[in-house]
Amino acid sequence: MPATAVVDIRHLSCALGGRSVLRDISLRVEEGETVVLLGRSGSGKTTLLKVVNGLATPSAGEVWFEGRPAEGWDPIQLRRRMGYVIQDAGLFPHWTVADNVGLVPRLESWPPQKVAERVEFLLNAVGLAPAEFGARYPRQLSGGQKQRVGIARALAADPPLLLLDEPFAALDPITRFELQRQFLALRRTVRKAALFVTHDVREALMMATRVALLRDGALDLVLTPAEFLAARTAEAKAFLASLEENWRPDEQPPRI
């Protein structure tokens, strides 16, 4: 009997507005693991994340969280056990950085002193000096800084699971690379399970302990990054082709 997975997705299907978005997905995420959901736009990866978070309802199958079916959880409690990071951070514009990061601990009625300590620790952990950034408002931050705050906020109540929906997609390449590296460093210190959605195969290979490739709402394959590089399904090859294409300006443009 293997250790209980943080998330165990069992034969999950989901239809939104009469259209089948997810078909018979089974996937386990263990502690300390980052499973990257890789797929084209419309492949269902964001929907899968929303089902896990209870933002969308499955039409068949079930999600188990920490050894219990998700229906057995109070949805509010369930969500507070998951950190959620989205593309443009979704920070609350009327709250300071510190207020944003401290949200879930405050909802969980932590004593103010403990919330303040946690916020300071997390801002340091994501590379933002608390003294400089704690009192700022989201509008006073760059895109990369917002995303750092988003990650700190997701980690705030020390949830066992992180859900990340293309968290770095809107950033410029240099900032994106910085945040990717920081996330990897952070993962070594805080052992969390993570479901990470991206359409960027390079990011998938960098962040993943396992890559789950989605195609038209079904799992194409689930492999380690090393195995993925040798994968032979049509969809995997399509993604790998975009990786191999190292076109330089002094060469002829690639023929399509």
Partner 1 sequence: MNSRLASEIFSLTLEHLELVLITLAIAAAVAIPAAVLLARHAAARRWVLGFANIAQTIPSLALFGFLLPLPFIGGIGKRTAIIALCLYALLPILRNTLTGIRGVDAAVRESAVAMGMTRRQILWLVELPLAVPSIVAGLRIAAVTTIGTATIAAFIGAGGLGVFIVRGIAMMDKPQILAGAVPAAAMALVADEALEWIERRLSPA
Site string for partner 1, 142-161 (x = CB under 8 A): -----------x--------
> Does the footprint of partner 1 cover residue 17 (CB under 8 A)?
no
Q: How many residues interact with partner 1 (rule CB under 8 A)?
A: 25
DSSP-derived 3-state class of residue 40: coil
Q: Which of the residues 67 through 86 are near partner 1 (CB under 8 A)?
A: 76-80, 82, 84, 86
Task: Supply angle C-alpha 153, 154, 156, rounded to 5.
Answer: 60
Least distance in Å: CB of 153 to partner 1? Answer: 8
Element of type H or E holding 80 = helix 75-80
Rounded to a whole number of angstroms, the minimum distance from the CB of residue 226 to partner 1 is: 32
Coil, helix or strand at residue 169: coil
Touching partner 1, residues 160-219 (CB under 8 A)? 163
Q: Is 97 in the site for partner 1 (CB under 8 A)?
A: no
CA 106 to chain centroid, in Å, comes to: 23
Q: Please report how close the Cβ of residue 79 comes to partner 1 at its closest, in angstroms.
A: 3
Q: How far is 39 from 85, CA to CA, in rounded Å?
A: 18
Query: Which distant-in-sequence residues (6+ apart) come within 8 Å of 43 by Cβ?
Result: 214, 215, 216, 217
Q: Which is nearer to partner 1, 35 or 86 (CB)?
A: 86
Helices 143-155, 112-125: crossing angle, 10 deg rounding:
130
Question: Which residue, 82 or 208, is less far from partner 1 as judged by CB?
Answer: 82
Q: Could you say which of 27, 37, 56, 91 contacts partner 1 (CB under 8 A)?
A: 91
Match 């705050």 to its residue by tokens. 149
Among candidates 207, 81, 111, 103, which has minimal Cα distance to 149? 103
- Contact yes or no for 165/83 (Cβ under 8 A): no
Nearest-approach distance from CB 81 to partner 1, in angstroms: 8
Identified binder of partner 1 from the candidate list 32, 90, 127, 130, rule CB under 8 A: 90
- Provide the minimum distance between the beta carbon of 45 and partner 1 in the complex, in angstroms, as a whole number: 16
Contact flags string 40-69 toward partner 1, x per CB under 8 A: -------------x-x--------------
Please state, in angstroms and as integers, the Cα–Cα distance from residue 143 to each residue in 23, 89, 148, 170, 231, following that order: 35, 9, 9, 8, 34
Residue nearer to partner 1 on the CB measure, 74 or 250: 74
Residues that bind partner 1 (CB under 8 A): 53, 55, 76-80, 82, 84, 86-94, 103-104, 107, 137, 139, 153, 163
